[in-house]
Structure 1
Amino acid sequence: MEWIGAGSLLAWVWLLLGQGFFWRTDVRLPPRRDPERWPSVAVVVPARDEAAVLPESLPSLLAQKYPGRAEVFLVDDGSTDGTGALARTLAAERGGLPLTVSSPGEPEAGWTGKLWAVRQGIALARFRVAPEYLLLTDADIAHEPDSLRELVAAARSADLDLVSQMARLRVVTFWERLIVPAFVYFFGQLYPFRWVNRPGARTAAAAGGCVLLRLDAAERAGIPESIRHAVIDDVTLARAVQRNGGTIWLGLAERVNSVRPYPRLAELWRMVSRSAYAQLLHRPLLLAATVAGLALVYLAPPVVLVAGLAGGDRAVATLGGAAWVVMCGTYLPMLRYYRQAPWTAPLLPFTALLYLLMTLDSAVQHYRGRGAAWKGRTYGAL
């Protein structure tokens, strides 16, 4: 137990100081100023069975106060709930930016549905707008009226090819409060924003709910054809842009919010498990290393603390307690960002255990041939 406790504490000291300060939540849009000329923008929204959230999200896009030319292209990806018709109705009632609704039909072999829809939206945008930038945003993302303006100003001011914001996810139900802040925390630990944003970075990532992308950078990277198979499309997109000489930036959002509810554990479980094993490249050794790492870093501290107290071993208890304290300290900024009570920080080991089980379930589903299942489609290793 002493060795396990020491290993866990050393891991947390490294994460605290050596992992790009991933735990800080102050990475927001870089300094920006209005450009002399506002470039044209096409907003591309892939949507599959999104009628439940569209009344909250789509009007926020149509209401963007953008000084240049902007149009919205919603691609109805085989919806069965009237998503396309609802989008047209909302546009007729609310007005605002021009809206085009299209449906590309079922994706060709080797394409995920979302990227097939993005392909259709980009093609339409090139024909209708000839945009300089694309805003790729999900159908469950609501934007404040100045969101597009701020994104473009940031891209122009810092000469960025890709600007992505991690939308603030909904935290209302018990399970959302327990799991959602940890989801963003773990994402930042895996892809530290400061590492992504530094010049010449080797780390690349984006948050798919809100990605502003320069069109010529997309063309250099062959987007979306070059990533047509990707289940984790946002990270894959960022890597493709970076690999082809593009500059990227990723941070937390202040005025971009997800309106999708996850009222039960089952919905959150599916959200994580559908792509967790794909993140590990479907490799059993990476899965084993991930499970071992999660156990040492997140599960060991409380176990070692309790074992030390039960056995009267002060040194063991101190090691476990110190590791748990550092863990909680790194989690507090994310809890503040999500306006959650600080006392929930010690629950992070339990949340990590859930994520460990979700990852194992993702692997099980993959080997059962179910792959990454989402809204009636299943993707294996494409």
Structure 2
Amino acid sequence: MIRRQHQEHDFFDEANSLREVLDARFTDAYTDSIAWYYFCDPRMYTYLRASPQKVFPKDLFDRFMKRLREWCIENLGLTPMHLPYLHLMVNGCRLGLHSDFHNGAWGYVYSLTRWDQRRFTGGETLLLRDGIPSYKKHHVHGEVLYELVPAQFNQLLVFDDRIVHATPAIEGSMDPMDGRIAMVGHIRATSPFVRGSLSSMEVRRVVLGVLPQIRDSIRSYKDVQGTVSYRLTVDMTGKVESAEVLTDNVVTPFTGYEQSDAVAAVKSIVYQALVGMRFPSARGSSVVIVPILIPLPDLRPIEFSVNHGLSSESAAEWITANLEGDSKMGLHGHWQGDTFQVQEPLAGSIRVGPHQLLFSFDPPMWVPSQRESFHASLRGLVERAS
């Protein structure tokens, strides 16, 4: 089970290939330069970023994202949200103290930095520790207050996105080959994920049916918050045989990650509700991954429609080009007739009608601002093109 932060070393078998692409492009900026965006808020941030899908060969980058997605599902029960950014930090660059509550349940940093050969100081990921330092202690400083995680080459660091974190200023070379290089992104819950004999629709129907019960049962625990995900083994009769916790960042503002009776009570209620679910019988067993946000969010589906004046074929082509895969929205799924069946980051559908596009998504296990941002971004993108 992963809590608070986790470092996965030797993450990607082709890490050297990714780094060699960067080294080759850094060698001759006149003929093969990278389009870096200088991101600077002098009070908080100074770094360069690029879109990695425009930097690395498609097949290589696709294999990295496949590895990242599969690792996240297997170990966190969650999935990457959108594509990462490629960050470059050279002398003078830094990330000030901040949190990413509105971006994800977890943040990740995948390092392509030659850390053991670095010629700079700084560049670690700084994570503040829980609790309030006691004024009674003398000389409370340094790693009593925070932990520093080195950006080791081919390391994936995941951490609770609510933790106040930073990257200490780089002091060293301006040469990008000697800089801190990493892919950075965020991880969130997706709709229930299933492998085996049960269908996704069957699983979603059962899980969505039990969520109101969980919401009502934990309503009084107002200070308990976070995401917990379970891997359920379901036998062919539909009974839940076992439940394994994959990730758990459920805390209270008062206890943080320390032991809490309230947290234990909430997780017990959630666990009992999930193991008590009964799925339809099937020809074989299934594995179901269910993430739960605490407190439970708005359980209404996201539904809206947008008028369009395109032919059905043109509307489908627009959806494929602007909403799928590497697009801004990053929706993954498949076409079934006139409907794009979305699987991630939320299960749902986009149906192409004669004069309307009809959108319907499961209620996401996201905080309200994340739900609102997804809804507004998707609707705004479609309306601007209509």
Q: Please identify which structure carries the higher helix content.
A: 1
Band of TM-score, shorter chain: under 0.3
Query: What TM-score do you get using the length of structure 1 for normalisation?
Result: 0.28
Larger RCO (CA under 8 A, 6+ residues apart): 1
